Chains A and B, each alone.
Chain A
Amino acid sequence: MNALAAVPPVRHTIVVEAPREHAFEVFTRGIDSWWFRDHSIGTEPLKEVVMEPREGGRVFERGIHGAECDWGRVLVWEPPSRLVVSWNIGGDWQFDPDLAHASEYEVRFIEEAPARTRVEFEHRHFERHGGAGQNIRDAVEKGWPKLLAAYGATAKAA
């Protein structure tokens, strides 16, 4: 591996066969409908994922007994075209309210046709996270097979 490699953002583009307003709606208010259930950092089993639909809104999980655990904040709220959310969870899987320690993801919704939306996704500034080293590597090794299995099950059920 090139030890000098820069840390580029994670970028993905997908095309959704749905109107732009709907795509934005499902990504934000509907986040609970597609979020992988085992991607949770709370002390209780995950009941729901909530994104408050406004700038400054909280993004958090709620456990089955009502305990809430923050994940980030809505930094930019421009329906139906653009969304920026901070990711305040570092390598130790704890919420850190300091935005200087948070990465962020931006989602752009671009209308390609009345019922087709191109979604451009970018998660950037990973270097702001402390504790990135061993904890994340452990998580990748232990957590990924589990996530893949969950995705397989979701895809089949849909």
Chain B
Amino acid sequence: MAIFERLERGPLSVGEIARNLPVTRSAVSQHLKILKDVGLVASQRAANRQIYRIDAEGVAGLRDYFDRFWQESLQAFKQAAEKSPKEKSR
């Protein structure tokens, strides 16, 4: 996911993303299209070229979901683990 990691640092054009990557520009474009289709990346036109950026709403939504999910689940785990620790370690 080198492309995604590059975009984490800021919006970039396809040419800027492809720079120093061991893949072709068209491969980068294809990958960007997939990321865009699944809602992880958004693009806008500026000065005759497409500028790509992370779609913060899509990705943050996924992350937020798991943040809350695990917070509650780990509390349930803690309760289960503290129920009878001595019985198991005897």
Contacts and interface: CB of A to CB of B under 8 A. Distances in A.
Interface of A: 1-8, 10, 12, 14-19, 21-23, 25-27, 30, 33-36, 39, 91, 105, 115, 119, 121, 123, 125-134, 136-137, 139-140, 144, 147-148, 151, 154-155, 158
Interface in B50-73: 53-73
Given A3-B53, A91-B38, A130-B38, 6 more contacts: A3-B42, A5-B56, A17-B82, A133-B55, A154-B79, A158-B83
Given A4-B53, A26-B77, A127-B4, A136 B62 contact: yes
5 contacts: A5-B56, A7-B60, A10-B66, A18-B85, A27-B81
A5 B59 CA distance: 10
B80 to A, nearest CB: 4
A36 B85 contact: no
Interface of B: 1, 4, 8-11, 34, 38-40, 42, 53-83, 85, 88-89
The prevalent SS among residues of A at the interface is mixed
B66 A128 contact: no
Nearest to B73: A36
Contacts of A151: 72, 75-76
A140 B85 contact: no
B83 to A, nearest CB: 7
Nearest to B5: A127
B61 A1 contact: no
From B11, B61, B69, name the one whose CB has the most chain A CB atoms within 10 angstroms. B61
A21 B56 CA distance: 39
B81 A26 contact: yes
B63 A158 contact: no
Contacts of A15: 78
Given A136-B62, A147-B69, A23 B10 contact: no
B30 to A, nearest CB: 14
Contacts of B34: 130
B73 A22 contact: no
Contacts of B88: 21-22, 25
